[in-house]
Amino acid sequence: METCDLLIRGALLGETGRKADIAIKEGRILKVGENLKVEAKEIIDAEGKIALPSFANMHTHVPMSLLRGIGADLPLMDWLQKVIWPLEGEFVSPEFVRAGAELGILEMIRSGTTLFMDMYFFEEVVGEVAESAGVRAGLGFGILDFPTKVAKTPEEYIKKARRFAEDLKGSELVFPVICPHAPYTCSPTTLRRAKELAEDLRLYLHIHVAETRGEVERIREEFGRTPIRHLEDIGFLSERVLCAHMVWLDEEDMEIVKERGVKVAHCPESNLKLGSGIAPVPEYLRRGIHVCLGTDGSASNDNLDMLEEMSTMAKLHKGSSMNAKAIDARTALKVATENGFSAVGIRAGKIKEGYEADLILVNPNTPHLQPLYDPVAQVVYSAKSSDIDTVVCRGRVLMYKGEVKTLDEERILWEARRWSERIRSFLERVSA
């Protein structure tokens, strides 16, 4: 008899609505089928649970979990300039990043995410936490034209980005990404250098683009074109570029994005909360643009919950386009799972032979999920992260029956509270 590492018995497969066993070996799905005849080192009884692919959070700033909800009800530029940047100037350090990453990754495991794309400071620390928590992460620090704790000049940022990428190479979970912050914070020269570095090292690029109407106007004033045409003109765009937000694109921008195979990381809740607007996602999907989903940081969302983000995305676009079929439940699930993984070349997001074993089990035995007629639609429209029972990444069980196995939840919450006391007194001092 064949042997495997982990056997999940009797799960209800979201995709087919039928019961099946899932055999996992060496991080991959070996077989999916009824009553599999395999031996296993570890068996999970999934009777009555729904099996779905886990989520890929394609745009976030995970250490900002320590700044959760600060500056609520402010628009993007006020929020950044009056609240977030002064706080970061005071507090950001490797210790801050470690505590924030632990808190954020704990929250992401609890809500079924096994891949996240992060842009912040001291990303090597985020990488250590992700590695030991057992989740996948594409990491890079923001490259800017102005000095921060990372570097003083664009040249220094690029040099450090090369060193960071070379140091991080070789992990099976964590990979380096080149992250020029945005077209309005990086000169064309900086953007070009970042692009060259990414090409040289065969890495993905991750950047904020067209988040607000103000940004589009600013780029248009400075360069006489939209942010997308600006990036196109300097040769920045390719299928290895992940653009977060992409709220304000015109027809020609969309054609370029489609043509170049650029990946869009849609962040609906952050765009709503900061008053940035509603990205025309049904139109992107209609054109065959590769759309995936992200939460953005917890300071503007105010959580890292991809299940909630997926639900909001599906409902939002039906409502704003006045078309109940604009994004159906299966499309929403694919955007939140498979489209994220495949955007960075990971074969996951399906519970299918040969795919990476990244999946979740959802407990539908709650008043808000019963009766259960359509597992996928009901998870998309009605489930909460508290219904997620088990999380598996690359074949490793990160959470089982609601208990996170790879992180010390009590210590992490204690540390978060300790940081919040210092942050709170700084905020009181500043506002006094």
Residues in 103-142 at the binding interface with its own copies, rule: CB under 8 A: 103-104, 106-107, 110-111
**Total residues at the site for its own copies (CB under 8 A)?**
76
Sites for its own copies among residues 323-382 (CB under 8 A): 323-326, 328-329, 365, 367-374, 377-378, 381-382
Residue 189 one-letter amino acid: T
The interface with its own copies within residues 149-178 (CB under 8 A) comprises none
End-to-end CA distance of the chain: 71
Q: Which is nearer to its own copies, 191 or 279 (CB)?
A: 279
> What CA–CA distances, in Å, run from 389 to 17, 48, 193?
18, 11, 45
Q: Which is nearer to its own copies, 212 or 226 (CB)?
A: 212
Q: Which stretch binds its own copies (CB under 8 A): 50-58, 153-161, 195-203, 267-275?
A: 267-275
Which lies closer to its own copies via its Cβ, residue 46 or residue 231?
Answer: 46
Task: Respond yes or no on whether the N-terminal peptide bond of residue 302 is cis (omega within 30° of 0).
Answer: yes
CB of 310 to its own copies, least distance (A): 13
Among 5, 15, 128, 409, binds its own copies (CB under 8 A): 409
With CB under 8 A as the contact rule, the residue among 89, 147, 319, 354 that binds its own copies is 319
Return the residue of 42, 45, 73, 259 that touches its own copies, per CB under 8 A.
73
Please state the closest distance from residue 115 (CB atom) to its own copies, in A: 18
- How many angstroms separate the CA atoms of 252 and 268, rounded? 22
Query: Do the strands 2-13 and 38-45 form a parallel or antiparallel pair, or are they unpaired?
Result: parallel
**Among 2, 18, 72, 196, contact with its own copies (rule: CB under 8 A):** 72
Looking at 92, 168, 173, 304, which residue binds its own copies (CB under 8 A)?
304
Q: Which range of residues in 197-205, 236-244, 256-264, 408-416 is near its own copies by CB under 8 A?
A: 408-416
For its own copies, give the closer residue by CB, 377 or 397: 377
Stretch that binds its own copies, among 81-89, 121-129, 264-272, 343-351 (CB under 8 A): 264-272
Using CB under 8 A as the binding rule, whether residue 303 contacts its own copies is answered as yes
- Taking CB under 8 A as the rule, does residue 274 contact its own copies? yes
- Check binding of 271 to its own copies (CB under 8 A): yes
Do the beta carbons of residue 154 and residue 143 sit within 8 Å?
yes
β-pairing, 179-180 vs 205-209, is: unpaired
Burial pattern 99-135, b for ≥16 Cβ within 10 A else e, equals: bbbbbbbbbbbbbbbbbbbbbbbbbbbbbebbbebbb
Shortest Å, Cβ 231 to its own copies: 23
Which of residues 292 and 327 has its CB atom nearest to its own copies in the complex?
327
If the CB atoms of residues 200 and 374 are measured against its own copies, the closer one turns out to be 374
407, 109 in Cβ contact below 8 A?
A: yes
Residues in 227-256 that interact with its own copies by CB under 8 A: none
Output the smallest distance, CB 195 to its own copies, in A. 31
Least separation in angstroms between CB 67 and its own copies: 8
Give yes or no for residue 80 binding its own copies (CB under 8 A): no
Q: Which two tokens stand for residue 10?
A: 């009797």
In our burial notation (b when 16+ CB lie closer than 10 A, e otherwise), range 51-88 reads: bbbbbbbbbbbbbbbbbbebbeebebeebbeebbeebb
241: left (phi over 0), alpha (psi -120 to 50) or beta: beta
20 scored as a contact of its own copies (CB under 8 A): no
275 interacts with its own copies by CB under 8 A: yes
Smallest separation (angstroms) from its own copies to the CB of 285: 14
Alpha carbons 63 and 82: distance in angstroms, whole number: 19
Among 23, 51, 76, 115, binds its own copies (CB under 8 A): 76
